[in-house]
């Protein structure tokens, strides 16, 4: 991250990115907010069990994974504090999940095209 931050006067070289204003902020998430996330996670768990009992055909797995993804996202944002982290951390997390999706997509593309037209 050896870039020159735009907001600093350019009379010294900030190679270590020390003056990044994001560093100065340190957010402590309150217990009330944790409790809200906790209640949401429990409610989503009940919802996904309930939804699994209804026959929604092809949408059953889609809904189950959508609820799981929502739960995962709020765990990452609040329990793991990513919402309050610097852009570096946010980008790192996003890149990790995006990279996983790229790998899944490319592997599935390979899989689906091996016997093209035969399925």
3-state SS class at 14:
coil
Indicate the residue among 31 and 117 with the shorter CB distance to another protein: 31
Indicate the residue among 12 and 116 with the shorter CB distance to another protein: 12
Binding stretches for another protein (CB under 8 A): 8-9, 11-14, 16-19, 22-24, 26, 28-31, 34-35, 37-38, 41-42, 45-46, 48-49, 52-58, 60-61, 64-65, 67-68, 71-72, 75-76, 78-81, 85-86, 88-89, 92-93, 95-97, 99-100, 103-104, 107-108, 111
Find the Cα–Cα–Cα–Cα dihedral 77, 81, 85, 88, rounded to 10°.
-70
Q: Which residues contact 81 (CB under 8 A, 6 or more apart)?
A: 27, 29
Query: Cβ 21 to another protein, closest distance in Å?
Result: 9
Tokens found for residue 25: 């902020």
Contact 22, 86 (CB under 8 A): yes
Indicate the residue among 7 and 117 with the shorter CB distance to another protein: 7
């Amino acid at each position: 991250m050896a870039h020159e931050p735009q907001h600093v006067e350019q009379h010294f070289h900030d190679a270590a990115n020390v003056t990044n204003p994001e560093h100065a902020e340190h957010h402590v998430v309150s217990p009330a907010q944790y409790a809200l996330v906790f209640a949401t996670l429990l409610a989503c768990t009940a919802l996904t069990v309930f939804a699994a009992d209804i026959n929604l055909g092809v949408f059953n797995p889609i809904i189950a994974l959508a609820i799981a993804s929502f739960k995962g996202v709020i765990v990452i944002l609040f329990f793991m504090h990513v919402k309050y982290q610097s852009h570096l951390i946010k980008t790192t997390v996003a890149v990790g999940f995006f990279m996983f999706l790229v790998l899944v997509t490319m592997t599935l593309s390979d899989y689906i095209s091996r016997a093209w037209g035969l399925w």
